[in-house]
Structure 1
């Protein structure tokens, strides 16, 4: 088992521990980033760190020296001799007294782990989650460590015979899947739900938008059933959607290859 980095110190994963009063463990008071590793390099690290910085501001964490974090992430890659896979950086507000009010000052606690490249399915079947995503919450646009709504939605989808859950927001517009953005091919163009509808500002999503390969558009679940093709996009991969509930979605192999080449080389 690979070693992990806790607050700048390498330890064996089986021996790693956090204090019992850690707010990330007790309250989900934390934030994280997952970064793809290719050829021993952290892909788009600057983008991930910029998103992390925004999330830390939203959560009102004290400032953290990002150069030190990046140095520790790179050191762990070398230490574990990782050439491909994924790295996760998790930051909690640290230890604190019982209750919700954060300690003042807080002492953030971070853990860095590396993982093999996850196996992805060739295609996924999506069930619409029975509860909406709160697109008005300030947490909707950051990768905080409380993923319970997504976990519950995915569990329920699997129980129904599907692979993942599709979130609509409280206005009925498509937001995202449990842990991925939605990319839709419609009338010959690629569109994706806007952040204002509850879509996480994903790194792959942002790159597609910046290159004008995709545009933002509010979408209903019905519009998805009329799509020419649909994909789930994340930092780690791209997977085609075969069904929305029991409605079959067409495949587009040519566009799939184009998106894969652009996003992942």
Structure 2
């Protein structure tokens, strides 16, 4: 699968030079099934906010959506990524406003992730966590270190031990019939927001508060969530969690509830 459209046209190497060399931009990723996706409004909000903050300009989402439809015309099931950057961006004059370019690319659909994760914590906070930016180097670096240490992935915490997020996922904890979401700065994912809305419709209690690594043993369960779905967490550092617990069925129902909207 090698579909990549830049502003609606097939992307060439020269077109992508700025993205590769300057590495200044932002993106969103979503799962597409039968030419439809969940949470399109959340992705729209993310793309518009990121473009305004990074480039000082707006973004025509109707045009972006048309490009998304064109990209998946022959690929009804896939992982779709929309990257916003600017070929005219000049790092020597970063304060200027730049017209955005839109790259729509496809990769194979992600199957549901159901195997429990083991994760290792690291002292790190994502820079500019309000933006899903292309500066992913530290995320993958710490993930690589976690795997080298015998874990599946990396979990981040601030310098005082407050949990923030995983490498490419958000984290939540099940406690006393409800969910606790860490309050530390993190990229607020679209899956996290869809789950929160689904749990609210079920009447499941939720709270956002500081969560310390030192208190993890007091939770009944932990889970990771992103566009690929919900995955139970079996261990954080040396603290174990059950792979199956009371809340997992409610969490899966919450993420399954949002309608799939045609691109």
Q: What is the match of residue 261 of structure 2?
A: none
- Which residue, 181, 198, 205 being the options, matches 2:185? 198
TM-score, length basis structure 1: 0.86
Q: What is the match of residue 156 of structure 1?
A: 145
User: Separation in 2 of the partners of 1:2 and 1:19?
Assistant: 16
Distance 1:86 1:242, change over 3 A: same
Shift of 1:159: 0.7
Distance 1:93 1:228, change over 3 A: same
User: Separation in 2 of the partners of 1:177 and 1:50?
Assistant: 22
Shift of 1:21: 4.9
| 1:89-168 mapped onto 2 (5 Å cutoff) | 89-97=82-90, 99-102=91-94, 104-119=96-111, 120=113, 122-129=115-122, 131-134=123-126, 137=127, 139-168=128-157
Deviation digits for residues 49-107 of structure 1, max 9, x if unmatched? 111111222223422211100111012111x232x33210011122344x443384523
Q: What is the match of residue 42 of structure 1?
A: 37
Q: What is the match of residue 13 of structure 2?
A: 17
The answer to whether the 8 A contact 1:209-1:215 is kept is no
Q: RMSD across aligned C-alpha pairs, in angstroms?
A: 2.1
State how many pairs are aligned: 251
Could you tell me which runs of 5 or more consecutive residues in structure 1 were left unpaired when the two chains were aligned: none
2:55 alignment partner, SS class: coil
The answer to whether the 8 A contact 1:61-1:93 is kept is no
| 1:217-232 mapped onto 2 (5 Å cutoff) | 217-232=209-224
Q: What is the match of residue 4 of structure 2?
A: 4
1:141 alignment partner, SS class: coil
Shift of 1:264: 2.6
2:196 alignment partner, SS class: helix
Q: What is the match of residue 52 of structure 2?
A: 57
User: Separation in 2 of the partners of 1:2 and 1:26?
Assistant: 21
User: Separation in 2 of the partners of 1:94 and 1:69?
Assistant: 17
User: Separation in 2 of the partners of 1:207 and 1:85?
Assistant: 20
2:248 alignment partner, SS class: helix
TM-score, length basis structure 2: 0.86
The answer to whether the 8 A contact 1:91-1:109 is kept is yes
Distance 1:60 1:6, change over 3 A: closer
The answer to whether the 8 A contact 1:228-1:251 is kept is no
Deviation digits for residues 148-183 of structure 1, max 9, x if unmatched? 111111011011010111100234311000010101
Distance 1:192 1:160, change over 3 A: same
The answer to whether the 8 A contact 1:229-1:241 is kept is yes
Deviation digits for residues 168-217 of structure 1, max 9, x if unmatched? 023431100001010101233211113xx112111122233335343212
2:78 paired with 1:81: no
User: Separation in 2 of the partners of 1:127 and 1:154?
Assistant: 9
Distance 1:17 1:58, change over 3 A: same
User: Separation in 2 of the partners of 1:188 and 1:42?
Assistant: 29
User: Separation in 2 of the partners of 1:146 and 1:114?
Assistant: 20
The answer to whether the 8 A contact 2:124-2:158 is kept is yes
